[in-house]
Amino acid sequence: MIVVGLTGGIGSGKTTVLGMFEAKGITTYNADLEARKLMNTSAEIRTEIHTVFGSESYIGKELNRPYIASIVFADKEKLAALNAITHPRLHAHFKDFVKAATGAYIVYEAAILLESEGHKLCDYIITVTAATEKKINRIQLRDGMTVAEITARMNNQMSDTLRIAKSDFVIQNHTVLATQEQVNTLDVLLLDLSIAK
């Protein structure tokens, strides 16, 4: 089994592409979703987050996401502390998931794959890209954020140039049809690579 990381900037279409692999019967793992779940279910994570962020960080057993987000967005050291608590647990969870999985390859989607050491769990990396104005339009439609808010998030992320330099494959997410064709081509290639491994 080979592990294929899937990353890209905000609104590039990572989750859309992950869904295309899933529809082909490929095992998929959405790291952002699994991290959200773990922060609510892991007692270890809850205890450590309480220690660093105080009693307001959970409401009952649910992470107080707006509270935590407001702190880490303004404080890089607090963001690093949060990542130090969550990333190793998420990576352990993913490794267990891989052990239990079947199939030729697994696709692991993570927005910060290349920033979080997550790429070290992967045999190959795919970056999803789209034109900036397309990404902005799509996020506006999806989340109702302002252009200024979207641009601020984009400027806070790794550039596509660097992401692509660190990747093995690029999917250009323009039309859904063209993206589906790229996924089909990559699927054939990844099946071959998994056999060769």
H, E, C per residue of 111-155: CCCCCCCHHHHCCEEEEEECCHHHHHHHHHHHHCCCHHHHHHHHH
Residue 115's closest CA among 76, 148, 149? 76
Binding ligand ATP (rule: CB under 6 A), the pick from 3, 5, 13, 57 is 13
The residue range among 4-12, 35-43, 46-54, 184-192 that interacts with ligand ATP, by the rule CB under 6 A, is 4-12
Tokens matching residue 177: 């049809």
Q: Tell me the pairing of strands 62-63 and 58-59.
A: antiparallel
The residue range among 7-15, 74-82, 97-105, 189-197 that interacts with ligand ATP, by the rule CB under 6 A, is 7-15
Nearer to ligand ATP, 58 or 94 (CB): 94
Residue 128's closest CA among 2, 3, 8, 4? 8
User: Which helix (DSSP H) or strand (DSSP E) does residue 6 occupy?
Assistant: strand 2-8
Least spacing, CB of residue 50 vs ligand ATP, in Å:
27
**CA Rg, the chain, in Å?**
17
Q: Which residues in 47-76 contact ligand ATP (CB under 6 A)?
A: none
The residue range among 66-74, 75-83, 88-96, 169-177 that interacts with ligand ATP, by the rule CB under 6 A, is 169-177
Least spacing, CB of residue 12 vs ligand ATP, in Å:
4
Q: Which residues in 106-145 contact ligand ATP (CB under 6 A)?
A: 111, 138, 142
The residue range among 13-21, 57-65, 78-86, 94-102 that interacts with ligand ATP, by the rule CB under 6 A, is 13-21
- Residue 12 binds to ligand ATP (criterion: CB under 6 A): yes
Q: How many CB atoms lie within 10 A of CB 147?
A: 12
Q: Would you tell me which residues interact with ligand ATP (CB under 6 A)?
A: 8, 10-16, 111, 138, 142, 173, 175-176, 179
